[in-house]
Structure 1
Amino acid sequence: MSIWWSLHLRREAASVPLARRLLLGTMETAGVDPDISYDLSVALTEACANAVEHGGDGAEGGSSEAYRVTAYLDGEKCRIEVADSGPGFGRGHAARPAARPDAEHGRGLCLIEELADHVHIGSAPGRGGAVVSFDKMLKWRDNAPLVTAS
């Protein structure tokens, strides 16, 4: 079974729960274990919130006012990508300061890294902007409707 979808969303706070609900609905329909669905939905929420807050410089209309979310459920893995047209990450993004546990901001990327199995954080080649993609191995509910029998 393979499912994928892509959304082009305005950089507005109201777009974040829309992406989250679509992901949760897709995974529920497919029969993904609810704990895995929850982890991925929290990671998606953090990535979308970062795109909304940091994903554009406001200098131009159109593309800087939007971001893209793409989700792939393919076999035993889910991959999610959130891309914006903001300033992106510098070459040394890995050297970003560690978020303090009591900080109100700056913990989103750390949370994504904890919830996903594999995370890639970088800038979009050729067009700028940040790209956050993450994968997680899927577990299925018993009698999941869209899982094909082996």
Structure 2
Amino acid sequence: MSIWWSLHLRREAASVPLARRLLLGTMETAGVDPDVCYDLSVALSEACANAVEHGGAGAQGAGAEYRMTAYLDGEMCRIEVTDSGPGFAGGDATVRPARTDAEQGRGLYLIRELADHVRIGNHSGVGGAVVSFDKILKWRENAPLVAV
């Protein structure tokens, strides 16, 4: 089984739960294990929240949108969030745990903890950040769209 989709979302806070609900609904319908669904939905929420906050110069025109793409292919899910902001200084993000009393700065760390493989860097050629992560899928017993 293979499912993929791409969303072009406005850089607004309301886009984050929309992307999360679409991912959850698709994975639950396909029969992905609830724990895997939860991990991926939290990681996606963090990546989208970063794109909303840091992903462009202003609220209008270029940079007013970001893209989320998801692939459920066999036993793997890959999610990629791309924005048109300034990207990461030096081309790569330094991911380290946030202080326990910090109110921000945990997103990329959470993504690294929840996913199996993570790539964080800049979009080559056009600028902007790219956060991409994979997770091996587990399936519910008698899942309707179990991978073959």
TM-score bracket, normalised by the shorter chain, equals over 0.9
CA RMSD of aligned residues (A): 1.5
Corresponding residue of 1:5: 5
Q: How high is the TM-score relative to the length of structure 1? A: 0.93
Secondary structure at the aligned position of 1:135 is classed as: strand
Q: How high is the TM-score relative to the length of structure 2? A: 0.95
Identity percentage over the alignment? Answer: 78
Corresponding residue of 2:28: 28
Q: Report if aligned partners of 2:47, 2:108 keep a CA contact under 8 Å in 1.
A: yes
Secondary structure at the aligned position of 1:139 is classed as: coil
Runs of 4+ in 1 over 6 A off after TM superposition: none
Counterparts of 1:34-73 in structure 2, within 5 Å, are 34-58=34-58, 61-73=60-72
How many positions carry a matched residue from both structures? Answer: 148
Distance 1:115 1:36 in 2: 9
Letter in 2 for 1:145: P
Shift of 1:99: 1.7
Counterparts of 1:124-135 in structure 2, within 5 Å, are 124-135=123-134
Shift of 1:98: 4.3
Q: Would the alpha carbon gap of residues 148 and 75 (structure 1) be closer, same or farther in structure 2, given more than 3 Å must change?
A: closer
Distance 1:92 1:78 in 2: 25
- Which ranges in structure 1 are unaligned for 5 or more consecutive residues? none
Q: Would the alpha carbon gap of residues 91 and 38 (structure 1) be closer, same or farther in structure 2, given more than 3 Å must change?
A: same
Distance 2:102 2:142 in 1: 42
Partner deviation per Cα, 1:36-55 (whole Å, 9 max, x = no partner): 00000000000000000000
Q: Would the alpha carbon gap of residues 133 and 96 (structure 1) be closer, same or farther in structure 2, given more than 3 Å must change?
A: closer
